Amino acid sequence: MRINEILEGISIAMIVLTRVPINSIFTINRNIAIHKGLWAFPVVGVLIGFFLFLLITLFENIGVARQVSVLISLSIGLLLTGALHEDGVADFFDSLGGRDYTQRQKILKDSCLGTYGVLSLITVILLKFLIISGLESKLALVCGLVTSSCLGRFSILLLVSYSDNSKHAGLTKQLKKVDAKTLIGCGIFSLIWILPAGILAIFFTIIFGYATIYLFLKFIVPFNRGLSGDILGLCVVFVEIVSLIIISTSFG
């Protein structure tokens, strides 16, 4: 892969996963297919995780308490990503209030948040805040933030490659299945970042990661009658929290 293709893939992934105005910086992003940047999703995950680590470290260095630093940094992170994945979490849990498939789809299209959606957002943000605040050393903090963010975005590749899209899918329809070589390469790249947490952490990450993808492929995706952006967002956040718990336990 040539340098310009690598830059193109990463910049496409940045456009899809963040609100960074890449189009104003690189003209290579105009009129190109979104699926070309799918392989770079884990790379952008690493960049997001490392950015959050730098933010927390910066705030702590100027005297801000750890918990306050984490809360401010997570808030900035939500602005950076446009709360893309969290929106999927809220929509999915809101849809659980529907009596049947038709009503669930109607709820998913509603821009208003319901009780289930609000409570789910509070839960996931609180879980992230508490776990990240408990990562005391700098090594544990950077390992947790980078690994969870990278693995979360890698899960998108797995779901896209092994699921069929819902007929109501929007942007997800532009994501195409990737070959086994790309999946293996991205998987290895994603696991590298957990090395500081130890061999057991890698082992449990693989086991629980497989269980998570199996859960989504066998139950959640069929429940939705196909893959959608909301399901992808839910999976990203779920994988992030699971990997953060494993890393927190390993360093603890």
Q: What is the mean pLDDT of residues 25-42?
A: 74
| Full residue range of the structural domain in which residue 219 is found | 43-251
pLDDT at 237: 97
* pLDDT value at residue 32: 65
- Asked whether residue 64 is assigned to any structural domain, the reply reads yes
pLDDT of residue 28: 52
Per-residue pLDDT at 87: 93
The CA–CA distances, whole Å, from 155 to 29, 89, 94, 163, 177 equal: 24, 15, 22, 12, 13
Q: How far apart are CA 217 and CA 227, in angstroms?
A: 9
* Average model confidence (pLDDT) across the chain: 91
28 assigned to some structural domain: no
CB 78 within 8 A of CB 48: no
Mean pLDDT, residues 142-152: 97
Average pLDDT over residues 55-73: 97
Number of domains in the chain: 1
Residue 169 domain-assigned? yes
Predicted local distance difference test score (pLDDT) of residue 191: 95
Query: Is 162 inside any structural domain?
Result: yes
36 pLDDT band, cuts 50/70/90, is confident
* 114 located within any domain: yes
Is position 11 within any domain? no
* The predicted structure's pLDDT at residue 105: 82
163, part of any domain? yes
Count Cβ neighbours within 10 Å for each residue of 122-154 and write b for 16 or more, e otherwise.
eebbeebeebbbbbeeeebbbbbbbbbbbbbbb
pLDDT of residue 24: 64
pLDDT bracket for residue 111 (50, 70, 90): confident
Q: Check residue 104 and give its pLDDT.
A: 85
Residue 192 counted as domain residue? yes
Res 31 pLDDT > 80 = no
* Residue range 205-237, pLDDT digits in tens: 999 999 999 999 999 999 988 898 999 999 999
Q: How do residues 188-206 score in pLDDT, each as one tens digit?
A: 999 999 999 999 999 999 9
